[in-house]
Amino acid sequence: MKPTIWVGILLIVLGGLALAYQGFPYTHRERVMDVGSMHVTREDHDRVSIPPILGGLALAGGIALLVVGGKKSLSPKLR
């Protein structure tokens, strides 16, 4: 398969996931205090939001790439 088709499929999958989940959570640890052999850390839970418009644009772009990639592979080659 052509790279255009692979990129189109990847954009469709990522766009669908972005629309379904609308973001992803992550946890990071921060060292609060360090006294001698005692270490105190804090875990923060955050969420990265992905706007639905980006998911829709990725989905539409993937579909467009599949259509363009499919048309190019079906057209006869000129010599």
> Hey, where are the domains in the chain?
3-74
What confidence tens digit (pLDDT) does each residue in 11-55 have? 999 999 999 999 999 999 999 999 988 999 999 999 999 999 999
- pLDDT at residue 43, as a whole number: 95
Q: Which residue has the higher pLDDT, 16 or 72?
A: 16
Six-digit token pair at 78? Answer: 């000129």
Tell me: pLDDT of 7 over 90. Answer: yes
**Model pTM?**
0.69
- pLDDT at residue 28, as a whole number: 93
Please state whether beta strands 23-35 and 38-49 pair in parallel, antiparallel, or not at all (unpaired).
antiparallel
- pLDDT at residue 27, as a whole number: 96
- pLDDT at residue 71, as a whole number: 76
Contact 4, 58 (CB under 8 A): no
Q: What is the DSSP letter of 77?
A: P
